[in-house]
Structures are given as structure tokens and as C-alpha cells.
Amino acid sequence: MRFLSIGMILAALCAGQAMFRGDATHSGIYAGSGPRQLHGVKWKFATGDRVVSSPVWSGGILYFGSDDNNVYAVDASSGRQIWKFTTRGPVPCSPAVAAGLVYFVSYDGHFYAVEAATGRLRWKFATGGERRFEAKGIHGMQPKTQTIADPYDVYLSSPVVASGAVYFGSGDGNVYALDAATGDLRWKFTTGDVVHASPAIDSGTLYVGSWDSYFYAIDAASGKEKWRFHGGEDPVIHNQVGFQSSPTIADGVVYTGCRDSNLYAIDAATGKEKWRFYNNGSWVIVSPTVVNGKVVFATSDSSLFHIADAATGKPVLQQDTTAYVFSSPAVAGGVAYYGVLNGTFQARDLNDGKLLWQYQTDTARKNPGWVLAADGKINGAMLFHSNWREAPIVAADLEFSIGVIFSSPLVADGVVYFGSTDGYLYALD
Amino acid sequence: MLPLPRAVILLASTALSYAANPAASRWDGSFLVPGREMKLVVDLSQNDKGEWIGSAIFPTLDIAGAPLSDIAVKDSTLSFAVKGVLGDIKVRGNLTDGGGFSGALEQGGNSAPLAMQKTGPPQVDLPRQSTNVARELEGEWEGDMTAIDHNVHVRLSLANRTDGKATAKFFLKGRREVNLNVAILTQDSDLLTLEVPDAFLTYEGRFRGGEISGTWQQGPYEFALVLHRAAKP
């Protein structure tokens, strides 16, 4: 850690809560406007490995994790590092910031609370350990009797903070509630598989999906189940199963994507399905954004940006994103911002869905290994030429190496921030 | 003159053919995509009718025996395509004085320089061909299989052709209706094999007692499927 200005320390101490997609309901809606036209890269901040984490903003400071095992605090205006905290594993989640502490999960199997001003450890909590979702013959990989980790399970659960507790999911299958000040366990709720979605909280209820194909509503105070909702199953290749998407809550309705190709709207009080939007075999990994009675989301394989009616799920418009989208759309000033797995970052007008601008990372422009076809689509024929041994995993790693954008953007003070697998955190204005 | 051993005659024949056609050879080379060198082995030859035939191996991409198509050799220029492998690949270039090839390889709209050298006589890996089937197998067959959690009704049409290569089509009716043209169909004794590589599908069945009893294999899926003579539509 270098010398800190008094101003920076005060800013960190006085800052409010910040978490994945802005708040505890994961609204993804940011005050003010982001760039409607792209002027350029304001700055980019280098880390030692891919940045899957989505940055959060608190008091002019950005907090985010990197797969280089560190969590960084960076001055949002200058891109200058304030501190970094080193864990013993990658940190592909968004930190949450509340009451002067920064909370996050690391692949080392610990949950951390560090001081927002200094990056000093306040406490840490050992979970049952992290792991990726895994299954025999997953996605058609061979041999089909071999248990293989899912290379597309790229995130860890981003914590949320409410009522003096911090909540998060874990690869050990549990959802945890810890005392935010001390790290003491309040309760844990056991699901049937990995929980890497980020819980959302509203009116004392925690909402989160698991890879066991259930979506849960849990009483935030007691940890008791209120209801559960069953998503699709895929017992053979385990491709169309599990909630990787983190939910959004708006007007008493929970919206969540699922790997079973649906975007679901579920009554928050009862757990009854209101509607589903089926995407023909294409995962919905993003967290939807609900704005002005519309749901904004995007898909993986079909590579589409969708706007649907929030009340009925009826499609309003769709646009081609060129490649898969895992990054959840951030909305500010009538514009949706999100990253794409071909290494581009896109801004679309919410009224007509038209592309306002896009930015491509340097690595993606160089197109190592011809990961991309000339039209910017993922060059699947070149990448996924074999289902055997580790070839699909190596291919996915190669695909991810070109500066793709898993990170969900945040918008603050006219600037949009996001991470990329090229190891940089970007600030575009 | 003493008779030459048969092997020597064959070798001489191959060598003459090799010498007669500058493009006819085994070619070994590589193309450089950004940050990665890819190996390529190409075998080019001419058949009895003088038509160009060939196959390709991509050792770093798990591909062997990919048939070449659209082969054109004119003066010192050579071009060919490899369809259905890595998308569609096109190669264009020139034979060089030193027994080499210099050109470009295109895939997915990307292009990279390709250089190859002759390394010996061609070893073309000819694609497998369909055979005709026994007369009692011709016609319409149908059956049902349980695909994970739902029923799929399968109808199969088999027809012999005068060129000795039978044709077949699958019609599937499950959650959706799908037509599949069988690319390679062979009968070896009572074993019938039908392949649709584009769908990663192979059906292997034994023709016994008036029915075809076998396994539908598609990617990692395997489902039992017994086909009976179809009722008249």
C-alpha cells in the first residue's frame, strides 16, 4: 500500500453501500448518464490475470477482483491504484462495500472483509471450499463417464449486504449469512449444488438460484426456506440446467435467467411463475434489468439483445450482439451497456435497440488463434474441433484469452467501467 | 532380363507418377494464425480418370483424412477446398521452383500465409463410400426410441441405386420434426451402419428376423432403436 490522501480515506469512510449491479436488488440501473458517444479510453488499469469481476463504485473509488488473486481499490477518476489485497485464489466476483468494509469471495475458499480505506483485513470466514459446477460428460464432452468441471462457470457469488448481514453463495452448495461486522455465522442454507449466482434481497427475503436447478426464496433473518421454484433439468449432458444468472427484483417480481434457456418472471411472494421467455437452447446467464416496464437481457448462443414487456414477457425488440453475452446490461440515461464474449463492449439505445457504439479490446482486435471469424462471431469451427480429453476446456480458455468481457459494467459520472479477460479494468467515456 | 520383383515395379510406377505431376505429392507445411502455428499435411493425386483427388490432415486440430474438393491445378497454380472441416477452408497458391508451395489459407473469413514442401509420394485417404443393401432391406422402416425423457418416432427410407451406393433418409418425429439425409450407408453381412456426420449421428443395427435391432448414437447419447417394416402410409 502506498501513501493515501486524507481525502481518499474520508471518501472511503463516508461512502454508502455498493454491490453487484449497484444495489441489493441488482437493479443494474445507474443514476445520470454514461457515454452516448464513445470518446475513448479514459484509462485502463492492468492486473496480472483476467478481470471477470464487475467493479463497484463507492465514494469515487472502484473496487473489483482479478483472477491474479487480488482485490483492487482504484481511484475512479485517475485509474491509480489505492491498495490491493492478496488472497490465495482468483476473485471473479464483485465486492460489496458497506459501512467501510469491502466483502468478497475468493477461490481459496474464504470470504473476506477488508477495510475500504486501507485494504487491511478485518476478518475472514472459511466456507466448505470453492469449486466449479461439474458433471459427467458435461456439454457433450468425452469421455461421457468422466466428471469434468464446467469452463463456463466463470463467476463466484457476489455478496450483498443488508440489515447488518452479508449474504453470498458458495461452491460448497450453501448460501451463507454472516454478521457483517464480525464474520460470525448467522445461518447457512444448503442447496443441492454449486451456488455462484449472487443473491438479491428485498423486503427481508433473499432470492438466489443454485446449480441444483432450483431457485430459492429464503427468509433473510432466519435462513428458512419460503419457497422454491424448479428450473429445467438436463440429466445427460447437463448443459440446460442450473441458475448461473443472478436475479433482479422489481415491483414484487423476481426476474432470473437460467441455463435451461428461459428468462423467468416469478412472483416474489408466492414463487409462482408469471411468465417465461424461451431462447431455443441458448443460456440466459445475464441478470436482467427492469426499466420503464421493460425487461432488458441478452443471451449466449443465440447472441441476441432482448427487450421484453415486464408484465407479460412478450418480446418488444431484439438485436444481434454478434457473439455470446454473459455480461449483465447496465442501464443509464436511456442506454444499455454490456460486454460481449468477442471482446467488444456495446452501447445500445433502449428505445430502438440500435447500436450506438462499440469498443473492441486490443487483444480481440489481434484475434489470436483466430478465435473470431472475420465477422466478429466466435469461430466455433476452429475452436471446438474435438470433444475429447481437455480439448473443449483448452478451447474455452483460448476463447476467453482474447480480452472477452464477462464483467458487468457500472456507470458513474459519465464514465462506464468494466473488466476484461485481457487483465485490464477499462474506463470509457 | 531377369524379372523385377513386383514391389520394385510398383515403386517405380509410383515414382513415375510422382514425377509426372508436380502437384501430386504429399505436402507438409504450416500456416501461422496470430500467436499460433498450425500444421497441415496434404495428399494430392490423380485417379484413373485423371481427376484430382486428395485429403488433408491437421495434426494439431485432431483432423485426419478430410477429403479435398474443388481441386484445381493449372500450370503452377494450385487451389482446393476442405469442406465441412473447421468450417470451410480454402487454399490458393503457386508451386515454386524448389519443389514447394506458397500461398494462403482462408478460414472463417480470416487468411494466413501457407507454405508447404513435398515430402514424398501421395497417400490419399479416400473417403468411405456407401454400398448397396440387400434387397429385403429396401423400403420403409419405423420404430420408436426413448430419447432421455420423451419418445421419438423414427422412420427410415432405404433405396438402392444403380451406381452401387444406396441412399437413406431418416424422418424423426418427437418434440420437433426433423429430416436427416444419411451421408454414408454400408451393409456388412447383417450389420447395417448409417452415418450423418453433420448431426454427429451413427445408427448401427443388425438385420435379423425381419427387423433391424440396434443403437442410435448421437454425440454422447445412446438410445436403443428397433426398426420394423413400416405400415403403409
Chain B within 8 Å of A363 (Cβ-Cβ)? no
Distance CA B60, CA A9 (A): 54
B62 touches chain A (CB under 8 A): yes
Question: Looking up cell 507418377, which residue turns up?
Answer: B17
Give the model confidence (pLDDT) of B118-166 as tens digits: 999 999 999 888 999 999 999 999 999 998 778 999 999 999 999 999 9
Q: Do B35 and A368 touch (CB under 8 A)?
A: yes
Given pLDDT bands bounded at 50, 70 and 90, which one contains residue B20? low
The model's pLDDT over A91-136, given as tens digits with 9 standing for 90+, comes to: 999 999 999 999 999 999 999 999 999 999 999 999 999 999 999 9
State the maximum Cα–Cα separation within chain B, in Å, rounded to a whole number. Answer: 75
Give the E-state strand segments of A24-173 in sequence order: 41-46, 56-58, 61-65, 70-75, 81-86, 96-98, 101-105, 110-115, 121-126, 134-136, 147-149, 160-162, 165-169
Residues of B in contact with A385 (CB under 8 A): 61-63, 86
Distance from CA of B203 to the nearest CA of A (A): 18
Cell of A231: 428450473
CB-CB under 8 Å, B87 with A369: no
- Closest residue in chain B to residue A145, using alpha carbons only: B220
At B43 the pLDDT is 97
Q: Could you tell me which residues come within 8 angstroms of residue B98 by beta carbon, excluding any fewer than 6 positions away?
A: none
Chain B CB within 8 Å of residue A385 CB? yes
Q: Do A370 and B107 touch (CB under 8 A)?
A: yes
- Closest-CA distance, A50 to chain B, in angstroms, reads 18
Give residue B17's pLDDT: 44
- Nearest-neighbour CA in chain B from A379: distance (Å): 7
Q: A401 and chain B: CB distance < 8 Å anywhere? A: no
- Identify which of B86, B219, B220 has the shortest CB distance to residue A382: B86
Question: Which residues does chain B have within 8 Å of residue A391's beta carbon, measured at their own beta carbons?
Answer: 62
- Residue A387: its chain B contacts at CB < 8 A? 219-220
ipTM: 0.83
pLDDT along chain A (429 residues), means of 10: 42 62 96 96 98 97 98 98 98 97 98 98 98 95 92 98 97 98 98 98 98 98 98 92 98 98 98 97 97 98 97 98 98 98 98 97 95 96 87 93 96 97 98
**In Å, what is the CA distance from B151 to each residue of B175, B181, B199?**
8, 21, 19
pLDDT at A12: 41
- B36 to chain A: nearest residue by CA? A369
Domains assigned to chain A: 6-428 (2.130.10.10)
Ordered structural domains, chain B, with CATH: 4-120 (2.40.128.120), 135-229 (2.40.128.120)
